[in-house]
């Protein structure tokens, strides 16, 4: 919202600079996001007299002028204006002047000594628009012949410099959506009087409901609480005077004509949106405020035909709609050059209805912006009358004394009690009661002290946001300035809460993954439906009802698509390898649900790697990643959270291993299938492990605390076991069997050799394990482990047909 610095001075007198005013407003809660300077003081522009005006020797359209600017020699200036002539008094921008207009590249126009078609030009004779004084570019500005040569431009024309504040208005402050409202906060901080541009809020003697010239009815009183109509007759429509058009232009509005401009002026002055109808185009002298139960087509005054949804509020005359209430008037009744009589509408429309219609039409106007935030229901008449007065002053005409005021829903001011103790306790301040009273009164609250601690405050109706005591406390604090609240002598020494186990666990996982050389990624949790269906049943997916696009319509059922996307992104940008992890939530339908019925929201961890494990180097050959690189990382990770001892790895398919804790599935390690990789444009091999953090967390929480184990006192013994088995036997099964049969003295197994070849015969392979045995009580000898080995070999032979190779 734009607010003019000069305009504010109409309502409160102050000497503060624009920067100071901006700071004050910001600190009351009206954040000034930017300050723009508009206009110029025209330094360097002076009055000159054209002493000669000849044809430019080299250009038909240019004149070669000599202009006396009060210096010893007249200046030679090349001028292209058709109206330049000898003896005119003109405004001349001398060399070095910066004019308040911009070049196409945004830099200001600076006058320099130049040669135009071979002739020296020592300045510029200016048109109105070049001085920021108007839009006229038809010719140069010709001054009154009495203007004194050499005088500064600011002595002969209005230079109107102004500063425009761009205020980011929060939705709780509809009262500040106009200059008077902003001035009210400013006056309160500066402790100055607020000068209002109207005398009374109502004029009951002249208010009628039956008017001979206009009948107004409200059919939908839920949506329209009040409607005031004032007639101004015999006006003359024309351009607005300078003061009005320049005010509107300064806040970015385009002047239209004196009637419309007056309504816009009052909107920005008092915050009451108004509409002016050409009274003669209002058929049957009737205004009715009503909604239709069907969609209607309507042409608004911007000449756009709009489909207005059913239920939207219209202003209708005797035969047809003439405006969309609170949003925009209709083309059929707009003020035009022939308008003689004007009906001014000033109404209170209920915010929710306006907001709905505005959203559905995708049309926000200065008017709807204010109605949907809630305007003052009691300024209706004052604003209409203010507008009528301005119209009378600038467009002639006569204000009809009797006006219509239909007011079916009255808003009574709210009364709220403020306790001083409560205020001081909550703010940590020690205000005296009179300080609070004077702040609130400056903001136009009526305050009655009911005791030494209590104030009964009547809230002005332009402050719909103030409903409770706490709101009054905020009012006092914000006008006082938050930054002046005293620093407390102490704050309570906290007794820290214990960090939840979950937080400690997640931090640990993140730390371990990083130490295993994985990079953390943050992937998108909204996916394209086609992507998501590759990772879960369609019926399990959770979709948003209103996605921005199909690409982000479904909540991720898995973290794997995030890896694939990141891998594809990086491989396509020249990366040779990826090594990523992510911890995040996944979403699926299912019962009973985690937080909400039917929705399973779980935390998972993803570790993925792919591409080259090593690039070609003098030291080693190029080597791709294999699933074993990932498996070893996952094993270390599980070890670091002390879950590795009880986790069993089982084969799910030739490309996927499941991880189970006492038969409960907690995750998997897999090679990503080629067709999935192709979908994400990843050609390199890619491996991914996903672990259910929610489950691991529960398991880890129940583990006994870690206790130190003495290091072995006696040396162990290694035993190499080379087995010949059929090719289809899985090494993992052999290893599991060895572990389960060998007993507690077996401390580790290492698979040190795998081969197949003719010497073994076809369909056979050899796998060699190195078993390490340790006894805590004594030094083991080969004799001690012989019986164990015999047992192991027998079991392997029985279960898998394994033969011991010698």
Partner 1 sequence: MKLDTDSIRKSIREFEINSAESLEQFRLKYVSRKGKVAELFSKMGTLAAEERAAAGKVLNELKNEAQSRFDQAKIDLESNLSTERAASDDITLQAPARPVGSHHPLTLTLEEIKRVFYRLGFSIAEGPEIEDDFHNFTSLNFPPEHPARDMQDTFYIHKDEHQIDKDLLLRTHTSPVQIRKMLEQRPPIRSIMPGRVYRNESVTYKSYFLFHQVEALYVDKNVNFAELKETLVMLAEMVFNRKVEYRLRPSFFPFTEPSLEMDIWWEQPGKPGKWLEILGAGMVHPNVLKSVDIDPEVYSGFALGMGVERMASLRYGIDDIRIFYDNDVRFLEQFQ
Residue 173 binds partner 1, judged by CB under 8 A = yes
Does position 570 interact with partner 1 (CB under 8 A)? The reply is yes
Between 123 and 611, CB nearer to partner 1: 611
Binders of partner 1 among residues 597 to 626 (CB under 8 A) are 599, 601, 614-615, 617-620
Distance CA 365, CA 201 (A): 26
- Longest alpha-carbon distance in the chain: 129
Footprint of partner 1 on 738-767 (CB under 8 A)? none
Q: What are phi and psi of 640, to 5 degrees?
A: -70, -20
Question: Do residues 372 and 363 touch, judged by C-beta distance below 8 A?
Answer: no
Determine if 595 is a binding residue for partner 1 (CB under 8 A).
Answer: yes
Establish if 636 lies at the interface with partner 1 (CB under 8 A). Answer: no
Binding mask 325-354 for partner 1 (x = CB under 8 A): --------------------------xx--
Q: How far is the CB of 22 from partner 1 (least distance, A)?
A: 11
Q: Which residues pair with 608 in a beta bridge?
A: 580, 688
Pairing verdict, β 162-168 and 123-125: unpaired
Report residue 354 as tokens.
Answer: 């306006």
What is the spatial distance between Cα 490 and Cα 307, in angstroms, rounded to a whole number? Answer: 62
Identified binder of partner 1 from the candidate list 539, 546, 728, 781, rule CB under 8 A: 546
Task: State the nearest-atom distance from the C-beta of 439 to partner 1, in Å.
Answer: 13
- CB 122: neighbour CB atoms within 10 A? 20
Number of shown-chain residues binding partner 1 (CB under 8 A): 92
Residue 748 Rama label (left phi>0; alpha psi -120 to 50; beta): beta
**Interacting residues with partner 1 between 227 and 246 (CB under 8 A):** none
Residue 328, φ and ψ in degrees, nearest 5: -160, 145
Q: Which is nearer to partner 1, 533 or 552 (CB)?
A: 552
* Nearest distance, CB of residue 544 and partner 1, angstroms: 4
Residues 662 and 648: their CA atoms lie apart, in Å, by 8
Beta-carbon contacts of residue 325 (< 8 Å; ≥ 6 apart): 223, 224, 289, 312, 313, 314, 315, 347, 349, 354, 357
Which of 14, 292, 505, 569 touches partner 1 (CB under 8 A)?
569
Give bridge partners of residue 66 from the DSSP assignment.
Answer: 52, 76
Task: Kindly tell me which of 698 and 733 has the beta carbon lying closer to partner 1.
Answer: 698
Q: Which stretch binds partner 1 (CB under 8 A): 477-485, 655-663, 743-751, 787-795?
A: 477-485
The residue (of 595 and 708) whose beta carbon lies closer to partner 1 is: 595
Q: How would you classify residue 237: left for phi > 0, otherwise alpha for psi between -120 and 50, otherwise beta?
A: beta
Q: Which is nearer to partner 1, 258 or 357 (CB)?
A: 357
> CA dihedral defined by 521, 526, 532, 538, rounded to 10 degrees?
150
CB of 506 to partner 1, least distance (A): 9
681 binds partner 1, rule: CB under 8 A: no
| Cα separation, 198 vs 524, whole angstroms | 56
Q: CB of 578: closest distance to partner 1 in angstroms? A: 7
Judged by CB under 8 A, which of 212, 488, 704, 710 binds partner 1?
Answer: 488
Q: Which of 409, 433, 516, 641 binds partner 1 (CB under 8 A)?
A: 516
| Token duo for residue 583 | 């911890």
CA dihedral 194, 198, 202, 207 (to 10 degrees): -170
Residue 327: CB minimum distance to partner 1, A: 16
Query: E strands along 158-214, which residues?
Result: 162-168, 207-208
425 lines the binding site for partner 1 (CB under 8 A): yes
Measured from the CB atom, the residue of 69 and 477 that comes closer to partner 1 is 477
DSSP sequence for 726-784: ETTS-HHHHHHHHHHHH-TTEEEEEEEEEE--GGG-TTEEEEEEEEEE--SSS---HHH
Within 350-369, which residues bind partner 1 (CB under 8 A)?
351-352, 355, 359
Q: Please say which residue, 7 or 571, places its beta carbon nearer to partner 1.
A: 571
DSSP state letters, 380-410: HHHHHHHHHHHHHHHH--EE-S-EEEE-SS-
Nearer to partner 1 (CB atom), residue 306 or residue 565? 565
User: Quick one: how far is CA 668 from the chain centroid?
Assistant: 39
Query: If 0-12 CB within 10 Å is exposed, 13-18 middle and 19+ buried, where does residue 781 land?
Result: exposed
Residue from 104, 494, 592, 715 in contact with partner 1 (CB under 8 A): 494
Stretch that binds partner 1, among 85-93, 158-166, 392-400, 537-545 (CB under 8 A): 537-545
Among residues 99 and 189, whose Cβ is nearest to partner 1? 189
Binding range to partner 1, per CB under 8 A, among 311-319, 363-371, 538-546, 769-777: 538-546
For residue 487, state whether it binds partner 1 (rule: CB under 8 A).
yes
Q: Which is nearer to partner 1, 226 or 579 (CB)?
A: 579
From 106, 205, 293, 491, residue interacting with partner 1 (rule: CB under 8 A): 491
90 SS3 class: strand
- Angle between helix axes 501-515 and 693-701 (nearest 10 degrees) is 110
Task: Answer yes or no whether residue 533 interacts with partner 1 by CB under 8 A.
Answer: no
- For partner 1, the closer of residues 599 and 774 by Cβ is 599
Any contact of residue 426 with partner 1 (CB under 8 A)? yes
Cβ-based nearer residue to partner 1, 491 or 782: 491
Task: State yes or no: residue 592 binds partner 1 (CB under 8 A).
Answer: no
Least CB distance from residue 115 to partner 1, whole Å? 37
The yes or no reply on residue 524 touching partner 1 (CB under 8 A) is: yes
Mapped onto helix, strand or coil, the DSSP state of residue 258 is: helix
Give the nearest distance from C-beta 597 to partner 1 in angstroms: 10
Q: Please select the residue that binds partner 1; options are 202, 585, 649, 724, rule is CB under 8 A.
A: 585
Q: Which of 383, 473, 559, 788 binds partner 1 (CB under 8 A)?
A: 473
Name the token pair of 204. 């009951």
Instruction: Determine, following the binding rule CB under 8 A, whether residue 591 of this chain makes contact with partner 1.
Output: no
Residues 547-566 that bind partner 1 (CB under 8 A): 547-548, 552, 555, 565-566
201 scored as a contact of partner 1 (CB under 8 A): no
CB atoms within 10 A of CB 232: 26
Per CB under 8 A, does 782 bind partner 1?
Answer: no
Ranges within 427-446 binding partner 1 (CB under 8 A):
427-429
Among 495, 621, 675, 709, binds partner 1 (CB under 8 A): 495
Q: Which of 348, 403, 518, 769 binds partner 1 (CB under 8 A)?
A: 518
Q: Which residues contact 698 (CB under 8 A, 6 or more apart)?
A: none
Q: Which is nearer to partner 1, 431 or 800 (CB)?
A: 431
Sorted by sequence, the CB contacts under 8 Å of residue 117 that are 6+ apart come out as: 56, 58, 59, 62, 78
The single residue among 486, 704, 705, 710 that binds partner 1, judged by CB under 8 A, is: 486
Rounded CA gap, 420 and 413, in Å?
A: 22
**Least distance from partner 1 to the Cβ atom of residue 192, Å:** 20
**For residues 453 and 601, which CB has a smaller minimum distance to partner 1 in the complex?**
601
CA 437, CA 454: separation in Å to the nearest integer? 10
Q: Which stretch binds partner 1 (CB under 8 A): 24-32, 52-60, 157-165, 445-453?
A: 24-32
Give dist(CA 435, CA 484) in Å, integer.
14
Residues 6+ away with beta carbon under 8 Å from 292: 310, 311, 312, 314
Residue 365 CB, nearest approach to partner 1 (Å):
17
């Amino acid at each position: 919202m734009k607010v003019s610095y000069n305009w504010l001075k109409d309502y409160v007198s102050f000497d503060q600079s624009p920067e100071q005013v901006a700071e004050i407003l910001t600190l009351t809660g009206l954040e000034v996001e930017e300050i723009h300077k508009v206009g110029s003081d025209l330094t360097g522009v002076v009055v000159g007299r054209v002493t000669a005006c000849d044809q430019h020797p080299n250009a038909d359209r240019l004149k070669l002028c000599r202009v006396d600017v009060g210096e010893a020699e007249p200046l030679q200036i090349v001028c292209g204006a058709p109206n330049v002539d000898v003896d005119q008094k003109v405004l001349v921008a001398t060399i070095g002047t910066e004019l308040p207009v911009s070049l196409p590249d945004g830099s200001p126009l600076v006058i320099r000594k130049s040669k135009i078609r071979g002739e020296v030009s020592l300045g510029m004779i200016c048109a109105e628009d070049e001085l920021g004084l108007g839009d006229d570019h038809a010719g140069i500005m010709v001054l009154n012949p009495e203007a004194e040569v050499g005088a500064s431009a600011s002595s002969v024309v209005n230079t109107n410099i102004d500063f425009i504040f761009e205020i980011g208005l929060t939705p709780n402050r509809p009262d500040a959506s106009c200059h008077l409202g902003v001035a009210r906060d400013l006056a309160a901080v500066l402790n100055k009087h607020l000068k209002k541009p109207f005398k009374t809020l109502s004029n009951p003697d002249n208010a009628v409901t039956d008017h001979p010239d206009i009948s107004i009815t409200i059919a939908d009183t839920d949506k329209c609480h009040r409607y005031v109509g004032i007639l101004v007759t015999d006006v003359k429509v024309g351009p607005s005077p300078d003061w009005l058009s320049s005010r509107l232009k300064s806040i970015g509005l385009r002047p239209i004509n004196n009637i419309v401009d007056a309504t816009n002026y009052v909107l920005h002055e008092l915050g009451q949106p108004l509409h002016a109808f050409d009274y003669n185009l209002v058929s049957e002298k009737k205004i009715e405020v009503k909604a239709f139960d069907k969609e209607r087509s309507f042409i608004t005054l911007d000449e756009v035909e709009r489909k207005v949804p059913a239920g939207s509020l219209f202003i209708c005359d005797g035969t047809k709609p003439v405006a969309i209430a609170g949003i925009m008037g209709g083309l059929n009744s707009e003020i035009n050059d022939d308008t003689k009589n004007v009906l001014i509408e000033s109404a209170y429309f209920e915010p929710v209805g306006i907001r709905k219609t505005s959203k559905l039409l995708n049309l926000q106007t200065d008017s709807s912006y204010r109605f949907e935030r809630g305007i003052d229901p009691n300024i209706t008449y004052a604003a209409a009358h203010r507008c009528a007065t301005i119209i009378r002053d600038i467009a002639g005409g006569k204000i009809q004394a009797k006006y219509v005021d239909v007011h079916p829903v009255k808003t009574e001011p709210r009364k709220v009690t403020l306790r001083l103790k409560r205020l001081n306790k909550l703010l940590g301040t020690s205000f005296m009661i009179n300080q609070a009273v004077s702040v609130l009164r400056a903001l136009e609250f009526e305050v009655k002290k009911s005791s030494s601690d209590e104030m009964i405050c009547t809230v002005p109706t332009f402050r719909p946001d103030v409903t409770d005591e706490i709101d009054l406390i905020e009012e006092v604090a914000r006008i006082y300035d938050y930054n002046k609240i005293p620093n407390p002598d102490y704050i309570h020494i906290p007794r820290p809460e214990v960090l939840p186990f979950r937080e400690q666990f997640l931090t640990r996982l993140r730390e371990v993954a990083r130490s295993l050389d994985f990079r953390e990624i943050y992937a998108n949790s909204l996916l394209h439906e086609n992507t998501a269906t590759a990772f879960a049943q369609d019926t399990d997916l959770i979709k948003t009802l209103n996605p921005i696009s199909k690409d982000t319509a479904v909540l991720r059922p898995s973290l794997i698509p995030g890896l694939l996307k990141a891998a594809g992104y990086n491989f396509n940008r020249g990366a040779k390898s990826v090594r990523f992890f992510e911890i995040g939530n996944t979403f699926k339908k299912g019962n009973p649900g985690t937080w909400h019925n039917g929705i399973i929201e779980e935390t998972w961890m993803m570790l993925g790697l792919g591409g080259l494990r090593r690039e070609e180097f003098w030291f080693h050959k190029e080597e791709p990643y294999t699933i074993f690189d990932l498996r070893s990382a996952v094993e270390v990770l599980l070890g670091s959270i002390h879950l590795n001892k009880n986790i069993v790895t089982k084969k799910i398919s030739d490309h996927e291993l499941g991880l189970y804790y006492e038969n409960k599935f907690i995750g998997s390690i897999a090679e990503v299938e080629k067709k999935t990789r192709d979908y994400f444009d990843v050609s390199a091999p890619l491996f991914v492990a996903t672990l259910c953090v929610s489950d691991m967390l529960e398991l880890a929480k129940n583990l006994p605390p870690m206790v130190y184990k003495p290091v072995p006192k006696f040396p162990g013994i290694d035993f190499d076991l080379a087995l010949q088995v059929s090719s289809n036997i899985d090494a993992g099964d052999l290893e599991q069997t060895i572990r389960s049969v060998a007993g507690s003295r077996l401390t580790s197994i290492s698979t040190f050799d795998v081969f197949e070849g003719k010497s073994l015969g076809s369909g056979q392979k050899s796998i060699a394990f190195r078993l390490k045995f340790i006894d805590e009580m004594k030094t083991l000898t080969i004799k001690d482990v012989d019986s164990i080995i015999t047992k192991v070999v027998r079991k392997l032979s029985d279960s898998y047909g394994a033969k011991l190779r010698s």
